Chains A and B, each alone.
Chain A
Amino acid sequence: MVCKNALVIDWPWAIVFLSKRQVCSKCHAQSVLGYELQKDSTLADANRPLDRNLLRYVWRHTRAEQIWILCVIIASMPTYFLVLDLPVRIINQPIQGDGFEVVGATQEFLNISFSLPEFLGGGEFVIFQGFELERWPYLIALSSLFLGLVCINGLFKFYINTYKGRLGERMLRRMRYQLTDRVLRFPIRHFKRVKGSEIASMVKDEVEPFGEFIGDAFVQPVYLGGQALVAFIFILNQSFWLGMIAVAIIAIQVTLIPYLRRRVLELGRMRQLTARLLSGRIGEIVDGISSIHVNDTSNYERAELSSRLSKIFFIRYELYQRKFFIKFINNFLAQLTPFLFYVVGGYFAIRGTLNVGQLIGVINAYKDLPSPINGLIMWDQKRVDINIKYAQIVEQFNVKDIADAELQQHSDDPVEPLSGEITVNNLNVVDDTGTALVEDADFTIQVNEIACAIGPLGSGAGATADTLAGLINPTSGRVLLNGRQLTELPQRIRGRRFSYCGSDAYLPQSTLLDTLLYVNKHAPLRETDGSNIPEKLHPKTRAEARASGNTLLSYYSDWVDYEAMGISGPEEIYEKVRDVLDVVEMGETVYQLAMRQELDPKQHPELTDKLVEMRKVLREHIDGSEISNLVEVWDWDGYNEHATIAENLLFGTAVETDDVQSSQLVENEYLRSILKKDGLDEAMFDMGVELAETAIELFADLSPGNPFFEQLNFMSPEQLELYGPIVARAKESGFVGVNESDRRMLLRLPFDYVEPRNRLRLLDQELQDKILQARHSFHENLPEEMQNSISVYNLDTYNPHNSVQDNILFGRVAYGSSNGPEKVQALIKALLRKNGMDDDLFRAGLNFDIGTGGKRLSEAQRQRLILARALLKRADLMVVNRGLNALDAKSQEVLIKRVIERARGENGTKPFGIFWVLTSPRMASEFDQVFVFQRQRLTAKGHASLLEDTDDFYKQLVA
């Protein structure tokens, strides 16, 4: 009696509960051990092909965590059970009075005892007698216990869910890292076959659903399977035959559903592939946008896109149909069982072979069976689905001939300079289509030899250079450095002691300076002082990186190898950079970039202050000199003849994306109200009519592509046609009578008018005065919402929306003076130099953002930059494969001569060697050794003077 009313913890739970600590501390130990093992075996792990089965992959990396979370779930069971059980007890006992029939009766609270099942001999073990409580305190105690348990249960859930989430995220992180790590080790030729956007879609999107699954990968089946088993045993216990009915139905489910699912899985795979191809295709559209425009194929692309989307749609539609059909079958079978229970069980009950209590017991027990079984089926469905997705990804990343991770192992130690000779024996290179690129090449060069290779495109010279640089592996034959195979050299030697300039000038987006220093970032050599970390790093950053098998090297360390460049630290970097940029004639470019840059005074307060200072110095210099008529400076009380009417009105720069751009000005209500005040709008309207008439008179019979249209600064060729009828209407009705839309169209025109440029004598002194007045009243009452859309010209402040040059100039260069801009620029440059601002601007120029793929620089500039950084790297052998082909012949010559001069060094020190595949063979005579390639074969070698006499093909090339 006592036992029944007491708070009983069932024995199997209790054992688990009690022994939890040991098991779990073991788990914990195991997980710590796991990390250690992983650390030692990173390389082995990276080299092993990815597991083809996701579960195996997950188990390998999260075994300890999976076991731990299972333990926690089991530990949470008693509370869960009690939370379900307590409300019944609260209602039955203290509220309804069960056990409190006698006045003053008490109940035992927190009685902990075990009752052994009968097959273990029965009996009871009382651990804690509990407290004797009366009805009211007993209600309070039970309710408080309920509240406490709810909290504990909630905390368990919270812990389990975050743990599972973290587990999934770690696995995702590991997987993404591993996949990208493999991309870094793909053989170079493999990249001819893959699309960047497809890889991106796999690494980013396709692995995403795994995260959710990984936390449940092992826990779910164990947990649900356990539940199902318990319910099942209970049924069997009640009635063997009815249990067998349940077994039969489950057997049907288990055999039928995988059969139905086959097509679903196939569809899932197709869905994944088509989606991936779609992202690849969209990437292609973006990359090939110019050829779409020049060939008018946009509609072809649209049709192609639509056909792809339609394919995806029908795949998904069929998928839904089948999925929900399976669900229907599932639900039907689940309901079939109780039907059979009622019919068969009812029959036996009526016959009297089964008692009614048992039947009700079975039916009640069966209530608990379908949901875990369904859960299991769902889990399995997800498992198979995700496994297929996973296999699809793994297939793309388990590439043949992937580089050994050992080759890319990082090292902080400096790499000794190379010397000696490179021997090429019987070198043959065949590409993947079977075309020979090089046949039977045999030669030896000293590492510091100044050699060049010449020959037509595809003659084998380029492929030989790429083989030396390690971009292509020999198909047969050997390339030896002092007797050691070049292919076996780790990347830390090849990547640091060789430099390479190819003709493909792709540069990732970055600043100019970082682009140059990129070639010297091999290892995190100096700890960061924290100034380059944008926001504080999470304290567990390192631990989490380790737990996900990511590299522990810090991105924020200073990776630049200053010693390799021959300097001691970041302070000396600018001198080095200026030196190499001067070799490739980029010094002036960097200065120009600095002058064109828009600087934010908040980020560069000192520099912008100095520039404002320079503005004043320039003014003093100009005033009274012969240059004074070349520049018209901004003056609050004077009309600037060489600026547009819009600029004169606003007296400032329109901040981007705002509504004060000159084409939109006419829409601005506030400005219109200012113009109206002095009748300026009517004057401008008349100007507009005149401008439109002139434009129509001059341009009406020209085709829109005609070069003359470049001179029409206030109208576009397309607009010209519109203005004919507008002018006619305007002349008829005048300023007041014409409709608002026509008025706007005409008012828009004079905003871009510049008298000295357009020379139509439309702007007299009176009108200029009116515009000045309008400027003043415009700024006096500027509404708040427009305060930030104009950056006003102010002699004492730096304008962040103007270029450096415009900020120094603080005015406009006059139209019509010969070479005006050049003269002014030269003056500014001289003044900057005189005032020691060279270095500041050089640094500002190096901060220039080169754009995606370096596209904000010209191809020639990119190639120069790549050559410059190859010099900056101070490698022992510089391989150039037509690396300057975007430059004209004259510039190429200059650069080649300069690089050779560097390679010869002072007093014949020969600091590095060159293997240069030349675009213009005439330069061959500058080199000490010339290799002549013809039809994939090395046909002659020697000094140019020798070849001149002996080799006809050489003579032909050089001629």
Chain B
Amino acid sequence: MKISEIILLGGLSVFSGSLLWGSLDMPYSTDTTFGPGFIPLNVSIALLALIAGVAIRAVVRSKRDVAVSSGGTGEPADDAQDVVPQTLGVLMLGGAIASIAICIYAMSYIGVMIPLGVLLVILSWRFSGHGFFKSVAISLIVLAVIYLIFSVWLRIPLH
């Protein structure tokens, strides 16, 4: 199982576990029909069971693959290094997500346009590999188009 899949399934487990916990406080049924806790309780249990099933299947498969590729010696297979993520790509991705998160946080205080402009420059310059001045120019054009459509035409308060 890849690290990214472990993160996904781990996150889903925490999510469904917390909803399962929350749904215990809701009525499961009433006199005439099922209550608001019926679906969250049953579905979160089902989701946890399915995640457990996928995890067990992955463990069984990896043991079988190790046994087959190492001729039954129990040594890990050579291609196990495929599991190691491409560090640079993951760092880029983490950086982009963090930049967007900071930008959204800043939007709560100073409006949409300025943080968005900075974010566009950073994404274009640091993550897409364009020159700084080109990134600034393109970001300004994109920002102007967004402003014209959303703020001027559709009157959405972006600042």
Q: Do A and B come from one complex?
A: no
Q: Chain B interface (Cβ within 8 Å of chain A)?
A: none
